[in-house]
Chain A
Amino acid sequence: MTDLTRLHVHEMAPLLRAGEISSRALAEAHLAAAERQNRALNAWLVIDRHNALVQADAADARIAKARRAGAAALAALHPLCGVPVGLKDLVSVKGGQATAGSRILKGYIAPFDSTVTARLREAEAVIIGKTNMDEFAMGSSTEHSAFGPTANPWALDRVPGGSSGGSAAVVAAYHAPVSIGTDTGGSIRQPASLCGIVGMKPTYGRVSRYGIVAFASSLDQIGPLARDSRDAALLLHAVSGRDARDATSAPVPVPPELLQLPAGDDEAAAYLRDKRLALPREYFVDGMEPGVAARVREAVTAMGAAGARVEEVSLPHTDYGLATYYIIAPAECSSNLARYDGVKYGFNDRSSGDYIADYLRTRGAGFGPEVKRRIMLGTYALSAGYYDAYYLTAQKVRTLIKADFDAVWAAGFDAICAPTSPTVAFPMGAKMADPVTMYLSDACTVPVNMAGLPGVSVPAGLSDGLPVGLQFIGAPWSELSMLRLARGYEGITARAPWRDLEPAELHLTDDPATPSPVDRKRQHDGASVQGSGGQA
């Protein structure tokens, strides 16, 4: 029998329906891998064996019942029925933790399900655990987690990207075929790129944010991470759609075709024919690694050879994206994180006996350095006398950035192709000293959030033995087209040698002698003078 953890969701679904495998067996296999390898990866904050098996058994019962009821009943099951899923630890699951990677939410137990959780339950997916992340999703390396960094399965001394680094690592390491992440400035696409998997940030408003711990409300979106575009589409289908609890979730129909991305590589490749792809020159930024630029240009050339029409375009306000993002996101976060005050839930320090001093202590000790930095930036940008210069100006530049994209769609392009991250996975600690260096990791992803567009990152080969991501960016609500393009690219590269590679250092995670990321960090912190204050 094949190793169940190597199956894609689109392979699991028919096997489950045929009764050839059980959801319990799938859950057991993935749980075992997660439990065995998490010490070396620190990708899971919770591995929920008990509840996962309860859900798996329920899914098996449901599938058995459908099988008795006939083909129509089986066909009515969602492809995710019985399939293991990992959730970033900012997704509320009733009765479970939602730390958002922060000490300040330690001990908090959510008394309600997020809408994403509820929809996964409707699909009867099996939630097997909660994944590590940068604190409150602020970061590009998962090093800003209060619970220690996560290792990249391709190179254990390197970061998996962030903030959804845990969700990316568990999929890359075959602990789950798919996982849920969130993307505020690249937090799904960049870790997907660095871990060699697929990650999609949907259009703002496509997936309900209800029950997802907020970072920056006008930018946050929830999306799938998967090992191929078909699986990403299946998970996106399960969680998308208008939700009465989220006033910013759009009443836009979810295309059922997401369930039917082409299985055959040739059929998939055919979609590329006559598609107009824009290659923005500003995305090949200063400091981009040549290997990354080379892989992306090769990918675009290959799509051209497959019949796509590629033209270079200009998105003139790209350079302003980072500055704009690092005003708007901190401003919103400074307000969103005001609720963490030690009054109602979570970590609290009440040693002073005075409520204002308690606030200061609770928040001073509960948040890590990156979160404090952003709260400070955002508070300053909104404060009296500075609002116009910072926040309002940023909102205006946001208009210009969005207009750049609108012009591309107006010119008839189907998608923009760009690198996802300017670099491959970088060594732990490399960018911790200077926050601005870390922020540069988001240069190619941030504008997409500013404009609320869908973007998907797909693996496009290796540079120095590490994965490179290719990003497709589309007009609002074009997720289906973006995933079809991604699937097309998978089709034309199906026989590329790098497609068959497993993460290079994954085998080391079974070795008890392999240091955990927490050990690595401790060694690193001890060996170098700290720049940014490290973790709380």
Chain B
Amino acid sequence: MANLTRPDVEHVAHLARLGLTEEELARLEGQLNHILDQYAILATLDTEHIPPTAQTIELANILRDDVVQPSLAVDDALANAPERSGDHFVVPAILGGGGEGGA
């Protein structure tokens, strides 16, 4: 079914935002292909007309009434922040716009 090349591995690592060393990339290429080989067994089944199962629990419409609950105190919300300025979380400058809501 699969054959992941080194560029594939690098692409997936970037999609997953994993910074990997040369050594890790090389090792993962072998391991991932070995694991993917095990998946080949699935292709032997005829699943064309089988519906997928995403959840085993047969629940629907578990909804919450639109009622306000207390938020965390600002200091608690920011307590774990690696860096904080005033009441904001701080990260290195993000350039190039983007990320505006509903992106």
Contacts and interface: CB of A to CB of B under 8 A. Distances in A.
A–B direct touch in complex (beta carbons closer than 8 A): yes
Interface of A: 107-109, 111, 204-205, 218, 244, 247-248, 250, 317, 319-320, 322-324, 326-327, 334, 338, 341-346, 348, 350, 352-361, 363-365, 367, 369, 372-373, 375-377, 379-380, 383, 389-390, 392-400, 402, 434-436, 439, 450-452, 476, 532-533
A397 B47 contact: yes
Q: Which 7 A-B pairs have the closest CB atoms?
A: A452-B56, A364-B19, A360-B19, A395-B52, A345-B80, A396-B47, A396-B50
Contact of A247 (B38, B62, B81): B62
A14 to B, nearest CB: 37
Given A343-B82, A350-B82, A396-B52, A383 B15 contact: yes
B76 A383 contact: no
B53 interface: yes
Given A108-B80, A320-B42, A367-B18, A358 B32 contact: no
B5 to A, nearest CB: 12
Contact of B42 (A397, A399, A451, A533): A397
A165 B58 CA distance: 31
A439 B39 CA distance: 13
A250 B28 contact: no
Contacts of B21: 364
A109 B42 CA distance: 42
A357 B16 CA distance: 12
A259 B54 CA distance: 33
A352 to B, nearest CB: 8
Contacts of A367: 18
Given A373-B32, A393-B47, A532-B31, 13 more contacts: A107-B80, A109-B80, A247-B59, A341-B17, A344-B89, A348-B82, A353-B92, A373-B31, A375-B16, A377-B32, A392-B52, A402-B56, A450-B56
Contact of A436 (B4, B18, B28, B34): B34
Interface string B46-78: 010011111111010010100000001000110
Contacts of B32: 373, 376-377, 380
B93 to A, nearest CB: 8
A383 B12 contact: yes
A226 to B, nearest CB: 25
B103 interface: no
A395 B82 contact: no
Interface string B23-44: 1100110011011001101110
Contacts of B23: 533
Interface residues of B, number: 53
**For chain A, what secondary structure do more than half of its interface residues adopt (helix, strand, loop), or is it mixed?**
helix
Given A218-B54, A324-B42, A111 B18 contact: no
Nearest to A395: B52
Residue from the set B4, B16, B94 with the largest chain A CB neighbour count within 10 Å: B16
Contacts of A359: 17, 19
Contact of A372 (B4, B24, B38, B55): B24
Contact of B52 (A354, A360, A398): A398
B92 A350 contact: yes
Contacts of B91: 343, 355, 358
Contact of B35 (A338, A361, A377): A377
Contacts of A436: 34-35, 38
A326 B51 CA distance: 19
Given A109-B79, A204-B57, A355-B92, A376 B16 contact: yes
A352 B64 CA distance: 43
12 contacts: A218-B54, A348-B82, A360-B18, A372-B28, A376-B18, A379-B12, A395-B53, A396-B47, A400-B47, A402-B56, A452-B57, A533-B23
Residue from the set B27, B42, B51, B59 with the largest chain A CB neighbour count within 10 Å: B42
B52 A435 contact: no
Contacts of A395: 52-54
A532 B52 CA distance: 33
B41 A320 contact: yes
B45 A326 contact: no
A193 B65 CA distance: 43
B51 A250 contact: no
Contacts of A111: 72, 76-77, 79-80
